[in-house]
Amino acid sequence: MANGRNPKRKGHDSGRDAGGFFALPWTVLDCPAFSRLSHPAKALLMELGRQFVRDNNGRLLLSRAHLAKRGWSSNDTINRAKAELLASGFIFETVKGHRPNKASWYAVTWRALDRIPGYDPGAVELFRRSAYQDNQPLRNASLTPASGQGKRITAPTGGLGRLATTPASGAIRGSFAALSAPPHGHHLDMPSVGVKNYGSYRRLTRGCTGLFSALVLSN
């Protein structure tokens, strides 16, 4: 990471604003682990980059007291973002802090660890450069089984069954169904009735069983 302390040195970029800066490799920005980070975790990673000067990778701070001056007000947000960066391999804890006033130290893993006195025992041996590249997704293992996508079954294993349209014992005839013809035969097949004259009236006599007499006006 360049710090821009010597603006007069050969090759200085005069096309940018003056002042120090830190370089974040594209390898970090383009890796899947970085894209999965929450916004607070990405912002906290920038805070660590701001602290780096040249030879202090391993003594970077993420304490509440230090970050409060940078606008971080929630201890819970800091702790969640820090846990994300540690789990994703972007940072490494070189010193475990403790109460009352011992802050933890951290190093970013896209740079080599600087040898600084005061690390916890085993910190140098456990540090892994580019550890964030080991944290790659496994083909969306939670969504796709190892054997590939299976075909969804939409029919019974024994094949499609045929739905019966009648009861097994045969069709049932209704007990109270209306008859299609009168009980005495079809009305068009019945004989005509005879006529007897009585004065100015004509009387219709029953021509067959079931018909009744009626009076009608004569012509």
Phi, psi angle pair for 152, to nearest 5°: -70, 130
Within the chain, strands assigned E span: 91-95, 105-108, 195-198, 201-204, 215-217
pLDDT beyond 90 at 60:
yes
First-residue to last-residue Cα distance in the chain? 128
Between 201 and 118, name the one with better pLDDT: 118
Give the pLDDT of residue 101: 82
Can you give the pLDDT at residue 13? Answer: 73
Question: What was the pLDDT predicted at 48?
Answer: 95
Highest mean pLDDT among 16-25, 26-35, 183-192: 26-35
Confidence grade of residue 90 (pLDDT, cut at 50, 70, 90): very high
What structural domains does the chain harbor? Answer: 26-134 (1.10.10), 193-217 (no CATH)
Closest CA to 67 of 47, 96, 45, 92: 47
Angle at 30 between CA 28 and CA 34, to 5 degrees: 65
15-25 pLDDT tens trace:
888 888 888 99
Higher pLDDT, 144 or 39: 39
Give the pLDDT of residue 177.
53
**Which of 42-56, 139-153, 161-175: highest mean pLDDT?**
42-56
Residue, of 179 and 138, whose pLDDT is higher? 179
For the residues 89-105, what does the mean pLDDT come to?
92
Residue among 119, 30, 44 nearest 76 (CA): 44
Contact predicate 91/109, CB 8 Å: yes
Cα gap 110→144, rounded to integer Å? 32
State the Cα–Cα distance between residues 40 and 107, nearest whole angstrom: 18
Amino acid, res. 205: T
Tell me, what's the pLDDT at 180?
Answer: 59
Residue 192's identity, in one-letter code, is S
> What is the identity of the amino acid at 69?
K
**Is a pLDDT exceeding 50 seen at residue 217?**
no
Q: What is the pTM of this model?
A: 0.57
Q: Which of 16, 19, 37 shows the shortest CA–CA distance to 28?
A: 37
pLDDT tens track for 114-154: 999 999 999 999 999 999 998 765 444 444 455 555 566 66
With a pLDDT cut of 90, the percent of the chain lying above it is 47
Average pLDDT score, the chain: 77
pLDDT of residue 112: 96
